[in-house]
Each structure stands twice: as C-alpha cells, then as structure tokens.
Structure 1
Amino acid sequence: MHWRIYEGIPQYYTPNFEPSGEQRTQSAFVQDRYFITPDLELTASLRYNHIRSEGVPNLAPDYNDPSVGHDYSAVTHQGWEPRIALVYDVSPSTQIKAAYAYGLKAPTIDELYTVQYARASKRASTSRDLSVTRVNAYLLGMTNEHQRVLTESDHLATEVTLFWNDIIHDVAQRRGINATKQKEGYYTNLEGLYTYGLDAQLQYRLYDWFTDASVSIVRGKHKGSLRDSTGADEYWYETPPLSAMFGIGHQLTDTIQIAWQGQYWDEQDRVPNEPSLHTANVASDAYFFQNLYGEWKPSDDFVLRATIINLTDQYYSPYLSAGVPAAGRDIRINATIRF
C-alpha cells in the first residue's frame, strides 16, 4: 500500500486562483516479470489510485458564495493504471523493447477550487465535476552495444526510442464558447491532445576520450482549440522544439577529467494563435550555448568539481520563458567530502 499526502498551507488571505486544500492519494500496486522464452521478457503491472481532494473555503465572501456555485467540499477520483512491457534480446548486443501504459492524473487543488465572483466572470463556480486526465502511452525502442567498432579498444552504445502519447480529457481554463453560462466552473475538461516523437542517444569511448550525442524531436497538436473543443486543432503550447546535444571529454589522469558540451534548441513557433491563453506561449528563436566541466577525484571520499554554464555568455531566450532572457555565464565550484 502506498500513501501520499499533499497539503496546502492555511493562510489568512488566500487568492482565489491559489486555493488552499488537501489532496490525499492512496494506491495499491502489483508487478510481475515473466520470461516467455529465454530471450523474451514480459513485465506487467497494475496500480489502483484513490484520490481525495478537499478545499479550504475562502475567507473573502465574494469567493465563498454558494449561490453562484462556490463549493469547497471534498471530491474523489479513482482509477486503474495498467502497464505492460516486452523486452527482446535479438543478440547479446542488441535489444528491442515495446511498452504500453494507461496512465491517470487527477485534477489539482487549483483546478478544482479556483473560482471567480459572479459579477466578474461567467466562470464563477468551483470545478468539482472535473474528470481525471488519461493518457495512452506507447513506446518502441532499440539499444545496441558494440566493442571494437573502429579499433580494438573502442566501445559504442546507441539507443533509439519512438513514442506516441494520446491524452484524453486534459484540464484547461474554460474559455471561448465554453464560457457562456453562469455558474460554470473556471476549469473544464477538453477533448485532449496527442504528441509523438523520437529520442536518439549515442555514446562512444576510445582510450581516455569519451563523447556523447543526443537528439530529441517532439510533435503534436491539441484536439480542438485551447479555448474550447469545438475549434480547429491547435499546437499544444508546451511542445518542445527540436533539441540536440554533443559533448566530448578527456580523462587527463586517473583522478582528473574535463569535458565540453554544446546544446542546440531549434526555434519554437508552434504556439496557439491566441496570445492571451498562456504567458508561456511566446515563440522563441533558435539558440546554442556551451558548457565546460572539470572534475578532480583523488579518492572515493573527496571530489572537487567546477562547472561553467553558458561558457561564451550567449544571449538567448529559452522556449516557455515568455520571452525572458536566460541567465548569463554561470560559474560554480563545489566539493564533496565523505566521512
């Protein structure tokens, strides 16, 4: 049996958009592994979740008015989460994996109990009728490890993963056509969204040199607009742009190593057309920055590390930063001592 408790902090003043409350999750989980053949492994699991949420009534009368639908009483959500995964050893160096999961996410305290007062909005009431958000998650991947690829002393490891996520009943603020009637909740369940993409990683080592590279691509759209489910499909504002990373390092001695890393993020212009939906949906330009790392480990009980993030003090605005520039060059030195 698994228990988790989330508690809001009681306040004398509670903003209507940050309600206090308690969310308690009780879960039961079982998992088993079975070898169908010596080379084919099946892992299956089942989890049951029971989530109880209860708000704290707002002290301000405008946000605690039962006549317009303000109701901070408890609400429960529950559901099963099955998962299944297959791993097949094609050869001692190659492995294929496939997995499926039917996930669950309950509405948060903010989503359930955020309110407006009647004269300010038609979305006045709490949103105790929200359903859980469900995701059908699919994964297919392959890993390889090889010795003596180019020389007698090198090692290469690669991994490629394809994924598809079909999300149902995502929670969003009620907007547009959905916000036409009095006493409706401030949040509502929309039809959902889907994302798909690819992750690829490569690691290579030759003598005292090591390198790694990765690329990640995610695409997807919301089913219907983010204002209401009756509109045309829109890009999901949190879809990340293409990103790539390359790093190279050298083991100078048995105790000292250094490494350089470059990170690239493509432009993110796949954002909804409605700028008022989210402050984080500002389009971002492509950017590239470099990092430098160093480590001295004279013993298992002492490690000294130095890190320089954004080595060249590059000016850029990360995606989902609402156009706010990132921090400049960041230099950090830390020591770890065990005793």
Structure 2
Amino acid sequence: MKRINILACVSVCAGVLLSTSSVALAKKADFFDLPLEELLNVEVSIASTSPEAIITAPATISFFTRDRLARLGITKLHQLYRFIPGFYSAFNSTEDNQSYISVRGQSQKYGSTVLFLYNGQRINDDYSGGLTYFIRQFDLSNVERIEVIRGPGSATYGANAFNAVINIITKTEDTLSVSTGNNLTLDGNLGLTYQVDDLQLALNVNHYDHDGQRYDNVYDRFGRQNQSTDPQTANQIEASASYQSFTWRYLFQQNSRDNFYLYNNLYDGLNRVDLKNQIHQLEYKLVDTGEFGLNLSAQSSTNQRESMGVQALQGMPGFAEDDVLFGFNIEHKSLQLNLSSYLLFEDGSRLSFGTSYQRSQVPEAFFISNYNIFTDLSYLNELRYFNERELQTVSDKTREISSIYGQYNLQVTPDLNVSAGLRHDHYNDITSAWSPRVAAVYNVSPKSVVKLLYNEAFRVPSIGDLYEDQSNLSPGSSDVKTAELQSLELSYNYVDDRYFVSVTLFENDVSNLIGFTNEQRSSVTNISHNLSRGIELDSQIQLSPNVNLLLAYTNMLSNKSTTILHDKGVMSEKMTPDQYANVAIDFNITSALTVNVQANWRDKVDLLQDKGSLWLFDGLVNYQVSERSLLRLQFHNLTDKSYFHPYSQSLGVNENGIVQQVPARGREIEVGWRYSF
C-alpha cells in the first residue's frame, strides 16, 4: 500500500446518536440523563469482539438502542444509514443491485465496502461481497441495539470491513405492532418470549406488504411505458433458544419485488425478484469471569435469488418471434466457525484475540431464457433452464478463508491508552492479506477525549467478481485485484450536562477500487484509485428540558479518483454529494406525547441530471395511550418532493443526455399501534 499524508482529525469516540446506552435503556433514560462517566464507559464489543468501554475502543463508534431507533422512527435497516455520520444512502426505489451505500465519499454496488454483522457474525455473502444482492428488507423490530464502526475494521473482521462495520444485535420482547398507510398495506410484527428456570425461548415474526408507489416520471429505453410501480412483500422470522451459556438462533427472510427496473430495464408484469435467506447461529460462552472470556460460535447460512426480466423486445433485430426473457437463479451457502477470547490484566491492559474459518460455495447459478443465449440466440418457444453443469457460471468454485487476529490495549497512564492490532486472512483462491491498526486515546479533561487512529483495510474480489465468466450482464475477471485502504483519523469529543459535540477529520487512500464499467454489458474490474479527505460534525444539544437537537454534517473536503479504465467506470465522487446533513429535533410535548421532526439535506450529485441541492422532511408523532399501548403517526418525504437517486449504469439517453438515475419514493404516511404484553 502507498504511504499516505498525515492528517489531523477530530472525531468522537461515539457517534452523534450515542444518545442512550444499555444503562440508559434499563432506566428508560435518554442521553442527557446520563452522568459523563456512565456515558463514556458504555461497553461495546464491535471494536475488538470483546466488551470494552467506548472511551478506550480503538475505533470511531456510533451506538443505537431500541429506544433511540423508535424515537427516530427507524424500523428497517435501510432507514438507519442517514443517521450514521459520514453515511449517505442512495438506497433507491428499486431496492436492487444498483442501490448504493456511500461512506465517507466511497460508493460501492451491493454495499460491498460495508461489513454487516448479525449478532457478531458476518452476513455479507461471498458471491457479491455485499449485503443487498440477497437481503433487501431487513426488519429491526426486535433489535436490542446496533453498534457501528465508522471507518475501517479489517484488523478485527477482515474483508469488506472497508469503510464501516454494522453489528445488528437482537433480543425479542413481548410485543404486537401493526402499521398501515397510503401505500403500505400492512407492516405487522409479533414478538413472544417464554422462560422457565434457565431456559429462554423467543419468537419474532414480521410481515411487510407494500402495494407499490406509482411513478409517472420513469425512463424506459424501450419506449413502451412511462409509468411503473414497485410493489413488494417481505416476511422475517427469528426464533431463539438460550440455556445457561448456550444460545441457538434462527433467522428466515423472504422478499419479493415486482415491476420497476431489473437488468436496467422496465417491464411491468414480468420483472420480478424473489429472495430467501436462512441463517442458523450457535453461541457458547465457555468462560466469562470479567477478567477472562472465551467464546465459541458457528453460523450456517443459505441465500437464494430468483429473477426474471426482459432484455430485448420483440421486433428488435434478431428477435422476431417474441420478447427476450431472461432470468438468473443462484444459491449461495456459507459456514463459519469462530473462537474469540479476551484477557484483562491487573494494570488495566487488555488482550483480545481470536481465530475463524469460513467456507462459501455457490452450488447453483444458472440462466433462464426463451432464446438459446449460449449458441445462436434461436427462439425456443418456451422458457429453458440452462442448469446443465457445464453451463452454470460459478457452481464449481469454493472459497475458504482461515483467519487469526489479535489486539493489545495498554493503559500507559490513567489518561492515555494505546493499542495495536493485527489480522491475517488466508484465502484458497486469491492473495492473502494482513490488516494492521494502531490507536491512541487520550483524556484531555474529564469532559473531552482525543483519539488518533491508523487503519489498513481490504475488499477482496468476490466469487462473482472473479468467476462470473458466462454472464451476459456483468462478467467477472480473474485479473481483478484486491482493493486496499489506508485510513488516518484524529478525533476529539466533548460532552457535558447539555452538550455533545464532535468533529472528525479523516483521510482515506484507496488503491484498486473494484467497480463496474459504465456500459450496457458492464464488466467487473478495478476502476480507480481514490484519495479523499473529509470532515464530520456531530452534535446533540439539550435546548430545554423537553427539547433535544441532533445534527450530523459531512463535508468531503476533497474526493478525487484517478481512473484506471479511462473513464469507463463511474467514479465514487460522481455518485456522492460533497456535503450532506441530517437534523432531528425531539420534542417532549407532555409525558405521553413526543414529536420528532427531521430534515435531510444534500448538495448536488454529479450523476443526476438535476444538479440542484435537495431538502427532504420526515416526521414522527408518538402518543403513549397507556403504559403498554403506543400510537404512532409517521411521515416520509412530507412535502412529496420529486427527486432521483443515482444509478451506476446507463439506462439510455433522453433530451438531457445519458440517463443514470431512477425516481425515488414520494410522500408516505403511516399509522401504527404497538402493544407490550
């Protein structure tokens, strides 16, 4: 990796939304009710896989509790991103492959530079490297808390912990909730728990049914339609059983989406994507004395995707008999084994270490078409499944990863903590990788903390990036290199009885960023090198005993890519605004009535045809009818603003030039009720 310039940064040891802690949750207290020493010593495990105070954690961390998610109206995972400092979500109305999650100026298809964890175990698939290829609608109704590393985390978690790590931690409560709205048919959730002696059982069920919004400003390169809808249904079930130190957990997710863009085309009544995901988790705490801990965990996951769309219309050259129908079915399986441990010494220093093994396969990956796409494109008069072994795309590829990591935190003085960490990942099919990091945390005063962080991270080419050699959509290449990142942050955080203020400056130097060429038949390759510098301003202010203000602002001071492919790929800076902000104001009108008003702003996005800035407004009203019953009224895009999200590939050309944008959803109104047993 290249040497990067030293950059002074100022950030927070916890994000702007570190407004409640596990202590606060137990007391039903908010951020400003916590004494400083409790706030700064809230324990998280995301930084090194073992419990440690946020103040000494060698990472910039944001922390969301169940209560804070409810106060912000966050019920689905994609709604969370805009509340994380440094994140910009272009999660578009297709909720498909082209939905981007940008972090500190970096945008990647499938969200492949953000590592997602489910109760501490990675759920990014090895086929795409990201989350959104197989998982779209992730419900958060039974989430206990969410921990976020803002910045690299490869020294602990390995590949794809490139720009951020998000750990979703679940715990079911006895609740029943239902919501409906102008486009939402039903969003219903039931949580049940049962305990006898040391045995704890839990079941959480969610059903989501959305009629779809009508879009009158869609672009169709075939010219056959000028409006569309995006209906979808989703089901999510989590079952768990805990006995003493043993926990078993099962997650099932199913999502179906109709119409709207698929394979860059519109074709209502035909375009469809069906997704299914199953995850089994086992955890066993062998030892946990507070001074020494040893945990074993295992995870088995299966992801399935079936899709069908249109590639060309009847009457186009070579296709006289019928429209060209095209589908792709794929199954991905993964097995993970993990061992993690920590050792706390008498002088306050801590050693965290662990090892893991992961094995991923794509046992099935084949195309469906009514034309013979492998020979002369002759018409078949029926849909054929090209599932013969020799025609499958990546079915003979298996990826195995063996990893080991360690991190040592040393309490040099009562006010100074330094740490160093190192991880090694060995791959059976590509180059292995080392990921180091060093950090220093200094208590300037009882109310302020400074952190200096240096991290290296990597994003390996996925199985699809390397071996998708027969696809006529996005073929991979064995020449794709591992993307590498060097990151430096210097952070400062101040908090007192009424104020929480932080500023973060960062510098990221990326080599061999992996992306897709901007062509109708795009291909996977290394598209650019990138050097970015930015500032994150986060604050929370208690304006009065009943009014709290939260502000997150990001400014990309510079974000410059050097192309490898002579402008054949879409650069990150064209997908992401230079400045964006989120403001949320909490009003406690009465002891039973609370109101949350949100404003989201960004400046221009170069890829969009409208180069103007954008304001969006959301709102949430909660009314506590009784101790157990809560009514909710929620607004999204309150002013019904018409706007677009960037789309990485060309959809065609209109009077304003190349179209690389899709319309976003307009105003949505939801009414909900929640009852706690």
Q: How does 1:1-339 map to 2 (within 5 A)?
A: 1-8=355-362, 10-13=364-367, 19-21=393-395, 22-52=398-428, 75-115=429-469, 127-147=477-497, 155-172=498-515, 187-189=524-526, 192-205=529-542, 206-218=544-556, 219-224=558-563, 226-227=565-566, 236-269=573-606, 284-297=611-624, 303-320=630-647, 322-339=660-677
**Contact 2:577/2:604 (CA < 8 Å) preserved in 1?**
no
Residue in 2 that maps onto 1:55: none
1:209 and 1:90 mapped to 2: Cα distance? 29
In the alignment, structure 1 segments of 5+ residues that lack a partner are: 53-74, 148-154, 177-185, 272-280
Moved more, 296-305 or 91-100: 296-305
CA deviations over 1:127-149 (Å, ceiling 9, x no partner): 224331110011122111123xx
Hey, what's the Cα distance between the residues in 2 that align with 1:101 and 1:316?
37
Summarize the Cα distance change of 1:217–1:6 in structure 2 as closer, same or farther, 3 Å threshold: farther
Q: 1:132 to 1:301 in 2, by over 3 A?
A: farther
Q: How far apart in 1 are the matches of 2:480 and 2:667?
A: 44
Percent identical among aligned pairs is: 23
User: Offset of 1:287 from its aligned partner?
Assistant: 1.0
Preserved contact between residue 366 and residue 393 of structure 2 (Cα < 8 Å) = no
Distance 1:35 1:309, change over 3 A: same
Contact 1:138 1:163 in 2 (8 A): yes
Alpha-carbon distance change, 169 to 332 in structure 1, aligned in 2, over 3 angstroms:
same
Deviation by residue 1:278-300 (Cα, 9 ceiling, x = unmatched): xxx76643111111112234677
If asked which structure has higher relative contact order (CA below 8 Å, sep 6+), I would say: 2
Structure 1 residue 112: Cα displacement: 0.6
Change (3 A) 1:224 1:35: same
Shift of 1:80: 1.1
Cα drift, residue 81 of structure 1: 0.8
> Would the alpha carbon gap of residues 248 and 187 (structure 1) be closer, same or farther in structure 2, given more than 3 Å must change?
closer
Q: Is the 8 A contact 1:215 1:242 kept in 2?
A: yes
The answer on whether the counterparts of 1:174 and 1:227 sit within 8 Å (CA) in structure 2 is: no
Cα 1:38/1:221, change in 2 over 3 Å: same
Aligned partners of 2:630 and 2:673 also within 8 Å: yes
Q: Structure 1 CA distance, aligned partners of 2:459 and 2:627?
A: 42
SS at match of 2:431: strand
Question: Which sits farther off after the overlay, 129-138 or 1-10?
Answer: 1-10
- Contact kept, 8 Å, 2:394 with 2:468, in 1: the verdict is no
**Distance in 1, Cα, partners of 2:616 & 2:442:** 38
Cα distance in 2 for residues equivalent to 1:76 and 1:300: 56
Q: Which runs of 5+ in 2 are unaligned?
A: 1-354, 375-391, 649-659
Q: Quote the Cα distance in structure 2 between the aligned partners of 1:188 and 1:43.
A: 36
Contact kept? 1:19, 1:109, Cα under 8 Å:
no
> SS where residue 328 of structure 1 aligns?
coil
Question: Is 2:553–2:582's contact at 8 Å kept on the other side of the alignment?
Answer: yes
**Aligned counterparts of 1:312 and 1:175: Cα–Cα separation in 2:** 34
Deviations 1:151-174 (A, max 9, x none): xxxx01111001111011223457
Aligned twin of 2:377: none
Q: 1:228 to 1:23 in 2, by over 3 A?
A: farther
Shift of 1:106: 0.7
**d(CA) in 1 for partners of 2:508 and 2:574?**
16
Q: Is the 8 A contact 1:175 1:227 kept in 2?
A: no
> What whole-Å deviation, never above 9, does each CA across 1:218-245 have from its counterpart, x for those lacking one?
231112354379xxxx774333331122
